[in-house]
Amino acid sequence: EMILEAANAIMCASSNLVRAANAAQRELI
């Protein structure tokens, strides 16, 4: 289903974003 693919694409993009944000914080801990 297209909606599942679209949701999956958002989650992949969000995952990259959150990973980038997490990486900056992790250096400090």
Partner 1 sequence: MPVFHTKTIESILEPVAQQVSRLVILHEEAEDGNAMPDLSRPVQAVSLAVTNLVKVGRETIQNSDDDILRLDMPSALARVENSSQHLEEASAMLKGDPFSTPARKKLIEGSRGILQGTSSLLLCFDESEVRKIIRECKRVLDYLAVSEVIDTMEDLVQFLKDLSPCLSKVSREVSSREKELTHQVHSEILVRCLEQVKILAPILICSMKVFILIVEQQGKGSDEAAENRNYLASRMSDEIQEMIRILQLTTYDEDQSE
Whole-number minimum distance, CB 28 to partner 1, in Å? 5
Whole-number minimum distance, CB 12 to partner 1, in Å? 8
Name the amino acid, one letter, at 10. I
Count Cβ neighbours within 10 Å for each residue of 1-21 and write b for 16 or more, e otherwise: eeeeeeeeeeeeeeeeeeeee
d(CA 23, CA 29): 10
Give the x/- contact pattern for partner 1 in 1-29, rule: CB under 8 A.
Answer: xxxxxxxxxxxxxxxxxxxxxxxxxxxxx
Whole-number minimum distance, CB 1 to partner 1, in Å? 8
Interface contacts to partner 1, rule CB under 8 A: 1-29
